[in-house]
Amino acid sequence: MREYLLTLCITAAVTYLLTGPVRKFAIVAGAMPEIRARDVHREPTPRLGGIAMFFGLCAGLLTADHLTNLGQLFERSNEPRALLSGAALIWLIGVLDDKFEIDALIKLGGQMIAAGVMVMQGLTILWLPVPGVGTVALTQWQGTLLTVALVVITINAVNFVDGLDGLAAGMVCIASAAFFMYAYRIWYSYGIEAAAPATLFAAILMGMCLGFLPHNMHPARIFMGDSGSMLIGLVLAAGAISITGQVDPDSLFGGSERSTVHQMVPVYIPLVMPLTIIAIPAADLILAIVRRTWRGQSPFAADRGHLHHRLLEIGHSHSRAVLIMYFWSALIGFGALAYSVHSASMWIVLGVVVLSTLGLVLLLLPRFRPRAPRWAEAVVPPRYRRRRTSASASGADASGTAQEAPGGAPGEDRTPVAAGASGVNGATAVGSRARPVDRSRPR
């Protein structure tokens, strides 16, 4: 666990430290497209954040290669090299798209080639646990087609959900955290070495997202662009492919007979868990394709009909819409994880599920505005703080008496504004300022 945490921290640190220089480079390179009709932000923001995330990925893999236990993974398996090869190709395509806006079909072809590169180096699905049948071995062509399809779907699902500040990075980070707990349990508790690559991919993916999020939270200073969204989508798909197609479900029980549903549930988790971690992005992708096809448009035509756009349309703020999507991801991901846990750690997972449900319910209440505790006020937006700032407090003390006139609501100015209205001391009110009347002049 310590080596995984060290890899995660180094990946996050490299990504965080490189994002600032990458932002300056993006501005100089002109990777700041004009605001489009479907965009939510109001000012041109630089892209190319995926550059920092890619170098964070490289740093994480390089660190793991030099560690004692994780270093043996690179000797036994070729999957980390396969991931790096596919990630480099998809990252290059994303950088070109962020700068030159390449055609959607070209990007789709590049995604398929990147998936094919990983398949050629051994990162592919070899068998599937099918309910009611058992473990079904796949032919080479079946495994290749299924692997390419999963990679393409995951990449585009993450790319489609990248529409609000911090949304894609946060949702993928939550999903990868649930996936890490599942893969680590298979590797550590059951002693299955084939689950080690997926555990490493999930740790590195968390580090990439955590390092980029401070720069991408609302209001974002930089966007990850397609170079980042397609990259984290590919890493997410690589972990799912590794643990689904390389880990034999029968090894979880040592070949023993499974007679009850309780015993059979973990067997099918490798098939279900990769689907749950992309459940919301995949649902958004399917709805977008159906919506655009129904209108006679291309499935790749951009619009403002995504789930996060609809949350904004019904009245949620930018931050609240992002938090709602976060809680949905945590609820689905950790809820599926709870089915595979039957030990003391199950209470931790159930605690996360309960807290996610509670947070989601509170955020969906129309009149509820969460308030942060005192110790967290320094890191949350001003709207969620309990105390007032010194400037607003002094302003309220100076004008509070004048603004709260009898019979009026607080904040309403009841001072007469008509010229010629005489005051008690012979003053004429003009606006909110009094001017003495000159009685020496003849009327």
What is the C-alpha to C-alpha distance for residues 428 and 386, in angstroms, rounded to an integer?
Answer: 41
What is the C-alpha to C-alpha distance for residues 360 and 324, in angstroms, rounded to an integer?
Answer: 6
What is the C-alpha to C-alpha distance for residues 201 and 60, in angstroms, rounded to an integer?
Answer: 9
End-to-end distance of the chain based on CA atoms, in angstroms? Answer: 92
Give the pLDDT confidence score for residue 334 in this predicted structure.
80
Q: Pairing between strand 427-430 and 127-130? A: unpaired
What is the C-alpha to C-alpha distance for residues 116 and 145, in angstroms, rounded to an integer?
Answer: 9
Give the pLDDT confidence score for residue 392 in this predicted structure.
46
Give the pLDDT confidence score for residue 244 in this predicted structure.
75
CB-CB contact of 197 with 73 (8 Å) = yes
pTM (2 decimals)? 0.72
Residues 6+ apart with CB under 8 A from 406: 414
Q: For the chain, give the longest Cα–Cα distance.
A: 112
Give the pLDDT confidence score for residue 51 in this predicted structure.
95
Query: Which pair of structure tokens corresponds to residue 203?
Result: 């740790």
Give the pLDDT confidence score for residue 57 in this predicted structure.
96
Residues 6+ apart with CB under 8 A from 1: 184, 188
Give the pLDDT confidence score for residue 411 in this predicted structure.
38
Give the pLDDT confidence score for residue 270 in this predicted structure.
57
Give the pLDDT confidence score for residue 165 in this predicted structure.
83
Give the pLDDT confidence score for residue 279 in this predicted structure.
73
Give the pLDDT confidence score for residue 188 in this predicted structure.
76
Give the pLDDT confidence score for residue 210 in this predicted structure.
94
State the 10-residue block means of pLDDT for the chain, 443 residues long: 92 96 90 64 79 96 91 88 94 91 89 94 81 73 91 87 83 88 80 84 94 88 90 91 71 48 51 67 76 75 66 71 82 76 64 74 63 73 60 46 40 39 41 45 45
User: Is the Cα torsion angle 217, 223, 224, 229 positive or negative in sign?
Assistant: positive
52 phi/psi in degrees, rounded to 5: -65, -40
What is the C-alpha to C-alpha distance for residues 341 and 333, in angstroms, rounded to an integer?
Answer: 13
